[in-house]
Amino acid sequence: MTKTAKDDNSGKKLSRKVYDQELKRLHGELVGLQEWVRATGAKICIIFEGRDGAGKGGAIKAITERVSPRVFRVVALPAPTDREKSQMYAQRYLPHLPAAGEIVIFDRSWYNRAGVERVMGFCTEEQADKFLSSISDVEKAIIESGILLLKYWLEVSPEEQTRRIEGRIHDPRKIWKLSPMDLKSYGRWYDYSRARDMMFAASDSAWAPWYVVDSNDKKRARLNVIRHLLSKVPYAAPHREKVTLPKRQKPKDYVEPEDIRHHVPAAF
């Protein structure tokens, strides 16, 4: 019997071999989901939230690296403009919701108001409370429009968060992930914990529950998220006709030119 990530869930670090094997299988399932969404016009919206360093970006990359960006769209909005600040809070997110045949993944979402904005003082307590008192009704309307909404919170321990953020400081490939806001947020662990708890209490609804993912082991977290989201969609991959490559045309009078200018130097 082939060993899978589920079989190896014994608490020890997941091996790269098992991870790659299971991820390859799940990528095939995601392609099947993609083709079903295209064929049926389904609309899926996936939200990823969590502390800095929880692994949101890595989970999203694992989901999207083998599928079409025309079907799987990732939305990571910048700070709001002055005009957007004057709108209903969730309004600037609504144009990015999926149309028929699309899967939209939010790398942080309207829940910024309940998290970073509340903790870092970008909104008042009253504004955060008003948001939380209304967002479940907004999500209910989203679902009633025919969108399947999935909300994931990636939970990381303080020790693992520290290790990852320190890794960003010392690795030139990751320094772009570290913003001044991340450093300010780092010291506010328990303020974020309180904000998370209030968010869960107000918005963990029957129609749009929060799913918490243990993300201390990134590999396990990615596999578990993909497996879970696939289990929440009642999809069946459409039948695919067998593909046969056609014969190439004969060259006839075509001759390759002797020299093509502007080659890239072969340094490797």
Instruction: Quote the tokens at residue 12.
Output: 């020890």
List residues bridging with 210 in a β-sheet.
Answer: 151
At residue 107, φ and ψ (nearest 5 deg) are -90, 90
pLDDT of residue 11: 63
pTM attached to this predicted model: 0.90
Nearby residues of 45 by Cβ (< 8 Å), 6 or more positions away: 97, 98, 103, 104, 106, 142, 147, 148, 149, 150
Q: Tell me the CATH class for 16-231.
A: alpha beta
In the prediction, which pLDDT does 4 show?
44
Max Cα-Cα span within the chain: 77
Of the candidates 151, 157, 159, the one whose C-alpha atom is nearest the C-alpha of residue 46 is: 151
Per-residue confidence (pLDDT) for residue 9, from 0 to 100: 54
- Using CA of residue 157, residue 158, residue 159, residue 164, what is the dihedral sign? positive
Confidence (pLDDT) at 204:
98
Asked if residues 147 and 44 have their Cβ atoms less than 8 Å apart, the reply is yes
pLDDT at 6: 47
Q: Which of 44, 103, 51, 101 is nearest to 73 (CA)?
A: 103
pLDDT tens, the chain, 268 aa long: 334 444 445 567 789 999 999 999 999 999 999 999 999 999 999 999 999 999 999 999 999 999 999 999 999 999 899 999 999 999 999 999 999 999 999 999 999 999 999 999 999 999 999 999 999 999 999 999 999 999 999 999 999 999 999 999 989 998 888 888 888 889 999 999 999 999 999 999 999 999 999 999 999 999 999 999 999 999 998 888 899 999 999 999 998 888 878 888 889 9
